[in-house]
Amino acid sequence: METDVLVIGCGPAGVQAAIHSSRKKASTIVVGKPSNSAVSGTDIDNYFGTGEVSGDSMLANGIAQARSTGAVFIDENVVSASASDGRFVFGLEGGETVTASAVVIATGISREKLGIPGESELLGKGVSYCAICDCNFYRGRRVVIVGNESEAAVSAHLMTSYASEVSWVAWEPSVSGNLVDRAVGAGVARFGSRPVAIEGDGRVERLVLEDGTTIPADGVFIELGARSSVDIAMDLDIMPEMDDTIKVDGRCMTSVPGVFACGDVTGKPWQVAKAVGQGCVAGMQAADHAKGSR
C-alpha cells in the first residue's frame, strides 16, 4: 500500500493528526489499536469544552471524524520501519507493507510492567524492556520474551539471531498468525501460562510460570505492547532522548525530514490537550511535506 501520510498510533494525538492531514487532502493511513491508547478505559474531566467524558467515546468520535475526511484505519501494529530515497517503508503485523512520503509517530511512551517478584530487583541484571536495545548482550545465551502482542513476537524472532535458546511466554496472545509462524519457524519455544516470578541470585536465572513451569534463562525481555516509539525512531535513524522521548521542533518535526512526532512521545505534560494540539500541528505539517514531495 502507498499513502501520503502514515500515522503510527491511534490515541488522541494520532487521530487528531489524521483529521488534519486528511482535511488537507493528503491520503492518510492510521496504523494502531485504540485499546493501546493511554486514554482507553479512562475518564477525562480536564479537556476544554467537554466536561467529564470517557476516553473510549472520545476515541470513537475522533476516529469517526477522521474517517469522514478520508483517513483509513488499520487495526494492527507496525513491526518494522525503514527509510529509502526520501520515502518511508513500514511492515505491519499482518504481513502488509505501507510506503509513505511522511510519517507521524504518535505511539506514546509507556513501558508496561508485569508487576511480579524479581522484575524490579533484577532490572538491568537480566531483566530488560527493550530487546532491540540489549540483544547484543545475549549472544549465545538463553532468553525469554514475555508478552501477548506484536512486539513480543517480533522480539522473539529477532533474538533467534543472537541467543542460543529463545522462549516466548504469551498467556493471552493477541497477534497475527503471520508473526507467530515467523517466530516458531525460527525455532522459538512457546509457553502459554502467565509469569509469576523472575528468580536469580543477583542476576536472572529463571522465569516461573503460573502452571509451575520453570524456564531457565539468562535474560527476560518484557515486551507487553506494540512496537514502541524508541524502536521505531531508531529504525528511522532518530536518536531518542534519555527518557525515551523524541525531540521535535515547533512544527513537530524530528531530526529526520518527513518524520513528525506528537503527543506523549514528545515528553511532558502527558495531557490530552497537549496531545491534540500537537496532533493538529503534526498532521498539517506532514500533509504539506508529503504533497511537496510528490
Residue 133 has pLDDT above 80, yes or no: no
Question: What pLDDT, on a 0 to 100 scale, did the predictor assign at position 227?
Answer: 65
Angle at 176 between CA 132 and CA 238, to 5 degrees: 30
Strand residue runs (E) in the chain: 2-8, 28-31, 43-44, 53-54, 72-74, 78-84, 87-92, 97-105, 127-128, 142-146, 165-169, 189-191, 195-199, 206-209, 214-216, 219-222, 259-261
- CATH architecture under which domain 2-110+227-292 falls: 3-Layer(bba) Sandwich (3.50)
User: 90-119: per-residue pLDDT in tens?
Assistant: 999 889 999 999 999 999 876 678 999 999
Average pLDDT of the segment spanning 203-215: 96
Residue 20 has pLDDT above 90, yes or no: yes
Task: Assess whether the region 2-110+227-292 and the region 127-222 belong to the same CATH fold.
Answer: yes
Domain coordinates in residue numbering, the chain = 2-110+227-292, 127-222
The per-residue DSSP string of 115-141 comes to: --TTTTTTBTTTEES-HHHHGGGGTTS
Superfamily of domain 127-222 in the CATH hierarchy: FAD/NAD(P)-binding domain (3.50.50.60)
Contact between 128 and 203 under an 8 Å Cβ cutoff? The reply is: no
Residue 293 has pLDDT above 70, yes or no: no
User: 30-68: per-residue pLDDT in tens?
Assistant: 999 998 888 888 888 889 998 889 999 999 999 999 999
Please enumerate in sequence order all residues whose Cβ is within 8 A of that of 143, keeping only pairs 6 or more positions apart, or say none.
159, 163, 165, 166, 167, 217, 218, 219, 220, 221
β-strand 97-105 against 2-8: which pairing, if any? parallel
The model scores a pTM over 0.85: no
What are the residues facing 168 on neighbouring strands?
A: 145, 190
What are the residues facing 257 on neighbouring strands?
A: none
219: cell is 535474560
Report the b/e string of 108-144 with b at 16+ CB within 10 A: bbbeeebebebbeebeeebbbbbbbebbeebeeebbb
Reply yes or no: is the peptide bond before residue 216 cis, omega within 30 of 0. Answer: no
